[in-house]
Amino acid sequence: MYMGYIYMDIALPLGTRRNVSLAPYTTFKIGGTAKYFYIARSTKDIVDAVAQAKSLKLPFFVLAGGSNVLVSDKGFNGLVIKVQNTAYTISKTNVHADAGVSMETLVKKTGSKGLSGLQWAGGLPGSVGGAVRGNAGAFGGEIKDSIVSIRVLNAKGNIVTLIQKQCKFSYRDSLIKKNNLIVLSCIFKLEKGNKRIIQATAKDHREYRKERHPLEYPNAGSVFKNCDVKKFSKKLQEELQDVIKVDPFPVVPTAYLISQAKLKGLRVGKAQVSKKHPNYIVNKGGATAKDVLHIAKKVKNIIKKKFSINLEQEIQFVE
C-alpha cells in the first residue's frame, strides 16, 4: 500500500475490493460482479475515486441507492463507486443533504420538524443523488420543487454548484442526467407547516405504495415513464379521458396501457410483469437481466402496436 491507494492490478483507492456481486446493492437484486468496487463514505472519497479512475482510463459507474437500475448479468468491467456519503443538516427551513442520504430518512426527519415540501416522497426508495438526477416525483410533487442548488462533479473533474434553474429539470430528467454529472450534495428550501398533517401525508403515501406496488418482490421501480397525453391521437385522448392524471402534467399511466394490452403476469424466466402494478417488472427469485430486458422489449413492442406510443424506459441499464 502507498499514498492511500492499494495495489491490485492497478492502483486504486484503499478499501477497493475485487469481483464484488452488484445484485445485493440494487433493489432488483439482479446483476453480475464489478471488477472493482469501492464504497465512498464522503464527498472527497467520490471525487478522488473518480479522478483516479479517469487517470487510469478505467470505466467507472457511480451507484447510489440502487433503485431504477438494472445491472447486466455480465457485471461491470471497471470501478463501481458506491455512494455512501450520508451527512445532512437542517437549519430552520433549509436542508443540506449529501447525495448518499436516503430519501426516506430525509422525509421522516424533515416531517418530524414540521417542514413541508418532501412529504410526497413518503416511501420513495433510493437516495437524494439518484432522486435529483432523475427528478423523482410522485403524488403531484417533484424533487425540483424544493431544490435551491446542487453541487456536482463535472466531466473535467471540477466541483460546480448549479442553481435550480440551471439544472433544466423536466419529467424524470435533468441536465445532470443528460450530461452524466455526478451529484455530490443538495440544498433544499422547505416551508414551515403542520407537523401532524405533513407526517400523516407521508404515511398515507407509504401505505399507498405498500397496497398498490409489488413491494413483496425485488424490483427497480416503474420501468417506463408515464405517457404525455399530447402524444396520443385526439380519438385516443377522448377514449382515455377517465384515466388521465396530472403527474405533474396530464399523462396516461403506463400501467393502464400495459393492463389494457393484457400483459399483466407476462413472464420470462423468473422475471414477471407485476399483476399488482403492471408498470413494474418483479424478480420472482433468480431473475436475470436478460429476462427483464426481454420482457421490457416485448412490452414496448406490443404497446407501440396497440396504441402507437413509444414507451420511454425509466430504468438505467448498466453494463
- Going by pLDDT thresholds of 50, 70 and 90, the confidence category of residue 5 is very low
Instruction: Kindly report the average pLDDT of the chain as a whole number.
Output: 95
The answer as to whether 175 is a domain residue is: yes
pLDDT at 248: 83
Does one domain contain both 94 and 183? yes
Does one domain contain both 290 and 312? yes
C-alpha cell recorded at residue 174: 435533468
Does one domain contain both 103 and 165? yes
pLDDT in tens, 27-85: 999 999 999 999 999 999 999 999 999 999 999 999 999 999 999 999 999 999 999 99
Does one domain contain both 112 and 192? yes
Query: For the chain, how many residues are written?
Result: 319
Does one domain contain both 74 and 141? no
Q: How far apart are CA 69 and CA 44, in angstroms?
A: 24
Furthest-apart CA pair in the chain: how many Å?
68
Domain assignment of residue 172, given as a range: 88-202
Does one domain contain both 137 and 159? yes
DSSP secondary structure string for all residues of 266-285? -EETTEEE-SS-TT-EEE-S
What pTM did the predictor assign? 0.93
CATH number at residue 122: 3.30.465.10
Q: How far apart are CA 60 and CA 76, in angstroms?
A: 8
pLDDT for 260 beyond 60: yes
Does one domain contain both 75 and 94? no
End-to-end CA distance of the chain: 30
pLDDT for 104 beyond 90: yes
The answer as to whether 256 is a domain residue is: yes
The answer as to whether 210 is a domain residue is: no
Average pLDDT of the segment spanning 278-305: 98
pLDDT at 3: 38
Is position 18 annotated as part of the catalytic site? no
165 φ/ψ angles, rounded to the nearest 5 degrees: -65, -30
Greater pLDDT, 201 or 246: 201
pLDDT at 11: 79
Looking at 133, 151, 172, 274, which residue is catalytic? 172
pLDDT at 132: 97
Q: Which of 181, 202, 223 is the last residue of a domain?
A: 202
pLDDT for 305 beyond 70: yes
Looking at 142, 146, 151, 314, which residue is catalytic? 314
* CA-to-CA dists, residue 221 to 142, 209, 235, 258, angstroms: 16, 11, 31, 15
The answer as to whether 137 is a domain residue is: yes
Does one domain contain both 162 and 182? yes
The answer as to whether 208 is a domain residue is: no
pLDDT at 135: 97
Does one domain contain both 114 and 194? yes
DSSP β-bridge partners for residue 18: 36
Number of domains, the chain: 3
The answer as to whether 52 is a domain residue is: yes
Q: Which of 83, 115, 144 is the last residue of a domain?
A: 83
Looking at 127, 185, 222, 274, which residue is catalytic? 222
Is position 222 annotated as part of the catalytic site? yes
The answer as to whether 42 is a domain residue is: yes
Does one domain contain both 149 and 164? yes
Average pLDDT of the segment spanning 251-277: 98
Is position 314 annotated as part of the catalytic site? yes
